[in-house]
Structure 1
């Protein structure tokens, strides 16, 4: 949120890795939200270790996207009752292939961000996927369980949850309508090499 603007409801992107969370972040920023994608600061890491979902950055930002939110969806829903949640999805087989390529890189591939990033990355991989390395059966189970859990949590609350597959028509229009914002004329962003199946 920029100085002088009216506060808006928090927005949380609760999709799993490789479902277009970077693209969602870019889209939300275009719609006027100050969103943090996969925060890797010390305060966030301490919050993850405590497990209370009281992320200090939410005092100054409009929301968080990526798997930082995934273990805490129910808690964030309770703490921010007016929040909007966006569950990004994609075809399961395409998603698994993308995850296999992504996890083929060792966890330390981003050590230029410092040792804290590695520790946070390993923590979140274990917390969300129950493993540090890619395992197709495990990931398929986590994917299906996450979708089912989110749908159950928000059952009967269409104003709180948007399930967004950006490969389907008019993703920007659906996202903007869900948030009560005008849809931009620009095409929906494709960040982080998503949604290529190659």
Structure 2
């Protein structure tokens, strides 16, 4: 197994699954903005994985992918809150967030193509489009698993998918509940990988992920 990419959208449980995997010995990056972060981590979630999974599939052959599902009635208000909190900093020109994060969000949620980016109808369309694209891309393959972390068997299914021994009925922690968005930053663990890990850069990597992902 090469890497494990968590390609569910924000507010589907990416922080919960990232924290859970730390205790199974994996080095985990919740968001990755440098090549070194991708090199160091065994498991990478959130941006840019949810937008760039096709490119990452080619860059890291033999990897596994985890698509996180969430009931729309729960995901929509949670995502609406997140977009409202982040939209000023996601602006491609004036926002202060990392360029990889801005590109990933703007590509997936079309923030620059709609007058009301937090409209429930718009967000629902983005969710359904993303899900359909993922399912179409991985159709007929066995390297994708779909789970909903609210399902009490979901962590067992994931561990089995990753070839790990399962003891009892392990459960995912439920983090970033309500308006919380930064539990990962507050969580301390030696297996955490910084999204901005520094190391030797290969321009080809960033050209491939950054440029190809927008075509």
Query: What range describes the TM-score normalised by the shorter chain of this pair?
Result: 0.7 to 0.9
Alpha-carbon offset, residue 57 of structure 1: 2.0
Q: How does 1:87-102 map to 2 (within 5 A)?
A: 87-102=67-82
Gaps of 5+ in 2: 90-94, 181-215
1:20 maps to which of 13, 18, 23: 13
2:127 maps to which of 143, 151, 158: 143
Whether the 8 Å CA contact 1:15–1:67 is kept in 2: the answer is no
Per-residue CA distance 1:62-88 (angstroms, 9 max, x = gap): 131013112211111122221010011
When normalised by structure 2's length, the TM-score is: 0.70
| Cα pair distance change 1:31/1:92, threshold 3 Å | same
Alpha-carbon offset, residue 61 of structure 1: 1.6
Q: How does 1:108-123 map to 2 (within 5 A)?
A: 117=97, 119-123=99-103
- SS state of the match for residue 97, structure 2? helix
Q: Residue in 2 aligned with 1:72?
A: 52
Q: Residue in 2 aligned with 1:192?
A: 176
RMSD across aligned C-alpha pairs, in angstroms?
Answer: 2.5
| Cα pair distance change 1:157/1:106, threshold 3 Å | closer
Whether the 8 Å CA contact 1:19–1:88 is kept in 2: the answer is yes
Alpha-carbon offset, residue 116 of structure 1: 5.1
Q: Residue in 2 aligned with 1:37?
A: 30
**Are 2:165 and 1:182 aligned?**
yes
Q: Distance in 2 between matches of 1:145 and 1:30?
A: 33
Alpha-carbon offset, residue 59 of structure 1: 1.9
**Are 2:64 and 1:84 aligned?**
yes
Q: Residue in 2 aligned with 1:47?
A: none
- SS state of the match for residue 117, structure 1? coil
**Are 2:151 and 1:168 aligned?**
yes
Q: How does 1:53-68 map to 2 (within 5 A)?
A: 55-68=35-48
Whether the 8 Å CA contact 2:47–2:101 is kept in 1: the answer is no
* Count of aligned positions: 170
Q: Distance in 2 between matches of 1:38 and 1:58?
A: 9
Whether the 8 Å CA contact 2:66–2:145 is kept in 1: the answer is yes
Alpha-carbon offset, residue 120 of structure 1: 4.5
Q: Distance in 2 between matches of 1:70 and 1:123?
A: 11
Gaps of 5+ in 1: 1-7, 45-54, 110-114
Q: Which has the higher helix share?
A: 1
Per-residue CA distance 1:123-171 (angstroms, 9 max, x = gap): 332121010641222211111111111111111212x001010112311
